[in-house]
Amino acid sequence: MAKYSKKTQDKMELVMHEFKHGELKSGNGSEVKSRKQAIAIGLSEARQTGAKVPKKNS
């Protein structure tokens, strides 16, 4: 199984904290209500910072 880097884990921890407290916003500014959407946002942000993240499932 592919490994997530420490940088990715830290980013996911921050994003999930925001999600649980209702502070996470999607691209259009609306509040994120889905756990799956929150995970996708976290992984996407980690990819943008150059962290090691396994490939997307198509």
In a domain, 21, yes or no: no
Tell me whether residue 33 is in a domain. yes
Domain that holds residue 47: 1-16+29-51
Q: Is residue 40 part of a domain?
A: yes
Q: Within a domain: residue 24?
A: no
For 15-52, letters b (16+ CB in 10 Å) and e give bbebbeeeebeeeeeeebeeeeebeebbbebbeeeebe
For residue 23, being part of any structural domain is answered with no
Contact criterion met (CB below 8 Å) for 11 and 4: no
Domain count, the chain: 1
pTM above 0.85, yes or no: no
* 3-48 per-position pLDDT tens digit: 788 999 999 999 999 999 999 999 899 999 999 999 999 999 999 9
Q: Is residue 58 part of a domain?
A: no
